[in-house]
Structure formats: C-alpha cells, structure tokens
Structure 1
Amino acid sequence: MWYVKNALTRKNLMALTGLFLSFFLIIHLFGNLQLLLPGETARVQYNWYSHLLADNIIVKVIALVLYLCILLHTIDAIYLTLKSKKANGSGYAKDKRGRASKWYSRNMMFLGSIVFLFLIIHFKDFWYQFKFGELALDEHGNKDLYTLVIEAFDQLWYVMLYVVAIIALGYHLMHGVFSAYRTLGLYHPIYSKIVKFSGMAYALIMTVGYIIIPIYIYLNH
C-alpha cells in the first residue's frame, strides 16, 4: 500500500513538473525567436533580453523552480521506470503493447534521456558561459550571448545534435502532455480528444519552432 501511495504521489509530481517545463518551453521559444530578427537588431535585442532576465529577481526565482523541476522530473521518471520494470518482470518488455500504443509512449525514458543529456551540454555551452564565463560586451554593455549562440550554430554537428534532441523532445511531449492531464485526473471522454489534439499540436509547434532557429542561423551566417 505504501508503494502505491508513493507511486501515485510521484506520478502527480512528475505530471506537475512536466507541465511547468512545457509552459517554460513556450516562454523560452519566444525569447529565442529573437535570434531570427534581421541584421544587428537580433544581436542588440537578444543580448538586451538575456541581460534583462539575468538581473530580474522574479526571473531568478522562476529559474530556481525550473532547475528543481528538471531534477524532480528526471528523478521521478527513473524511479517509476525502475519500479515498473521490477513489478512487471522481465517479460514486460516482450509483450505486444505496440498494437495498442505508440512507440514513443513506450520509450518515454529513452527520449527523456536524450533530452536530459542534451540539457547538460546546452547548460554547459550557454548557461554556464553566460553566468560564469568571460563573454565580451556588446556596444550597449550587455554580455554578447548572441555571438556565442551564432558561433555554436555555425557548426553543422552542433546543429544536427540540437535537431535530434528537439525531435526527441517533440515525441516526448506528444505523449507527456496528454499523459500529465490524465494523471492529474483531468481526463474526460467528452474533451479527451481535444486535449490530445492540443497536446499533439503543442508538441509539433514546439518542435518546428525550436528546429527553425539553428537551421536558419547555420544557413544565413
């Protein structure tokens, strides 16, 4: 009984953290789309935006919540996956669930692992450099994060890595968003199709939106 209660709590926590991270993806995408602005406007606007976020106390609090959500979401996912495998035995992976579920819904841990590993690289290359690195300043006195991003996406291998990770994220979201609503008890036959369609549309928009940025930079710089 303790395990059931514990599992349900962890599932709810994973759903809530997942939905928060999904919301953050929207905000982050709007910020990154400034990289597509024409000419020098992109540099000025993106660096100003990055500086604004770095010095805003509210954003700092949200950032701490974000880091905590990433860790909790990852830890809960690992815990629930291991418990599920233990409870169902070795034959669980050999059943015929493919007839009733999509492959990405059966491989959420694998897709999530790709995203998590990419996040480590992404934080190291951008977040860490911006926070603790010695970046040059632009003409307005802001750290020139724009140039760091452009130099990264001028490399084909990095663009390909980014695209693969975002595609994995997209498939993760396709199942994750809808699953989170069900876990939280918001599932209902009347509007389940609307929620599922909205989740699929959201995943597609996020995937295309994020992929456009590195490809555009690589082809135009």
Structure 2
Amino acid sequence: MTWFTRAVTSSIGQKVLMSLTGLFLVSFLFVHLSGNFLLFADDGGRAFNEYSKFMTSAAIIRVMEIVLLLGIVLHVYTATTLTRRNAQARPQKYAYTQPSPGVSWFSRNMGISGSIVLIFLVIHIQNFWYRYKFGEPGVDAWGNRDMYTLVATTFRVEWWYSILYILAMVLLAFHLNHGFQSAFRTLGLNHPKYLPVIKGTGTFLAILFPIAFAVFPIYFLFFN
C-alpha cells in the first residue's frame, strides 16, 4: 500500500484523483437530471414519488450513495489540498500577480465557485433528502411519501431558495466548463486532434446541466 499512498498523496496523484472524481460527479448529474424530469409528468406526482421511493429504499442505491459521498469527499479534499499547496508554493505570498492573458476569473478561482456550489449542495440535501427521509412530507393518493409536493412547495414558498438554486447553477456552469476540460488535460487526453471535441463537450455540458436544472425552480415558481 506504500506505493498507493505515495501516489494519491503526491500532487500529480491528487490531480488525477480530483479529475476522476470530477468526471464521476458529472455522470451523476445525468442520472439526477433524468429522474427530476419526472416532475413534469402529468400524473399528480405519482411517477416522481415512486422514483423517489426507489432512490431511497433500493439496496443498490444505498451502495451508490456511499460511492457518491466518497466521490464528493475525495473531490473536495484533493481540490482543497492542491489549492493549499499552490498557495504555499508561491515565493511571495502577498505580492500581486498579474493574471495570465486569456485566463478568466472563474478559471483562476475554481476553489471559490466550488465552495459555493458545495454549500448549496448541503442546503439542497437538507431541503429535500433530509426532509423526505426524516421529516413528514405527507403521503400521496397511491401511498407513497409525497416528494413531489415537497419539491413543488419548497420552490413556490421558499422563493429565496429558488433564487439561490438558479444562482448556484450559474456558478456550476463556469465550474463545469473549466473543470471538464482540465480533467482531460490532467489525464493526458489533450491531443490537438481531440481537444476541440473535449472543449466543445465541456461547453455543451456547462450549458445543458445548469439550464436544465434551473428549469425546475422556474417552472414551480412561475408556471405551476
């Protein structure tokens, strides 16, 4: 295990681990978004409530929750460690450094956008998963715990949360756009032949996910 420990604690090893966990979290967004689209089913929330029941009771999902939590923890840990190392490596801690041409503020401050998205994630889990599991969300006409009404009511009544949700999606867009491309560069998949495809895919996902997720609070806040 010594070689493994050295690998995951080295700067290169942690960059690779951060890249892999980041790409894993992107794959989770696909699953989460797909399930959320059941909110639009014209069935009184039945499909979404049955989906929510499966996602909180199936054994395989329990395992995936642990894997997901581990992925988030490792991503945050490696990002924090690398940021701290980079700060300590600067010879003049308080000297002003001229930003590199063509490098955006979001690219230079991935830690800030990532931290805000993480804070939002904690609030998001508390608002929905925690209330659903340990609160009293009510029961629908088919005997399922009513996650649909919980989501709809939260977005309608707690309007501040809907605004926070949308703003978090804006930050996610910039974080994902830079992070997706950086992950492939770190993994050595940056050949000029494939770079346009990787960059285009990253930009596409950075637009797709935030807009698609932002549709839900907008829908319940203004149109439902």
Identify the TM-score tier after normalising by the shorter chain: over 0.9
Does residue 194 (structure 1) correspond to residue 197 (structure 2)? The answer is yes
Structure number with the bigger relative contact order (C-alpha 8 A, sep ≥ 6) is 1
Contact 2:7 2:13 in 1 (8 A): no
Residues 96-138 of structure 1: CA deviation (Å, up to 9, x unaligned): 3241312211110000011000011111111111222222111
In structure 2, the gaps of 5 or more residues are: 1-5
Pick closer, same or farther for the CA change 1:210–1:144 going to 2, 3 Å.
Answer: same
Pick closer, same or farther for the CA change 1:84–1:92 going to 2, 3 Å.
Answer: farther
Corresponding residue for residue 67 of structure 1: 69
What letter matches 1:146 in structure 2? Y
In structure 1, the gaps of 5 or more residues are: none
Q: How many residues in Structure 1 have an aligned counterpart in Structure 2?
A: 218
Separation in structure 2 between the aligned mates of residue 139 and residue 98 of structure 1, nearest angstrom = 59
User: Which structure's residues are more often helix, by fraction?
Assistant: 1
Separation in structure 2 between the aligned mates of residue 74 and residue 141 of structure 1, nearest angstrom = 38
* Per-residue deviation, 1:30: 0.9
Percent sequence identity is 41
Normalised TM-score (structure 2): 0.91
SS, match of residue 189 in structure 1:
coil
Does residue 212 (structure 1) correspond to residue 215 (structure 2)? The answer is yes
User: What does residue range 58-207 of structure 1 map to in structure 2 within 5 Å?
Assistant: 58-90=60-92, 94-154=96-156, 155-207=158-210
CA-based RMSD: 1.9
Normalised TM-score (structure 1): 0.92
Corresponding residue for residue 51 of structure 2: 49
Pick closer, same or farther for the CA change 1:195–1:143 going to 2, 3 Å.
Answer: same
Contact 1:35 1:42 in 2 (8 A): no
Separation in structure 2 between the aligned mates of residue 181 and residue 92 of structure 1, nearest angstrom = 32
Spell out structure 1 runs of 4+ moving beyond 4 A.
2-5, 90-93
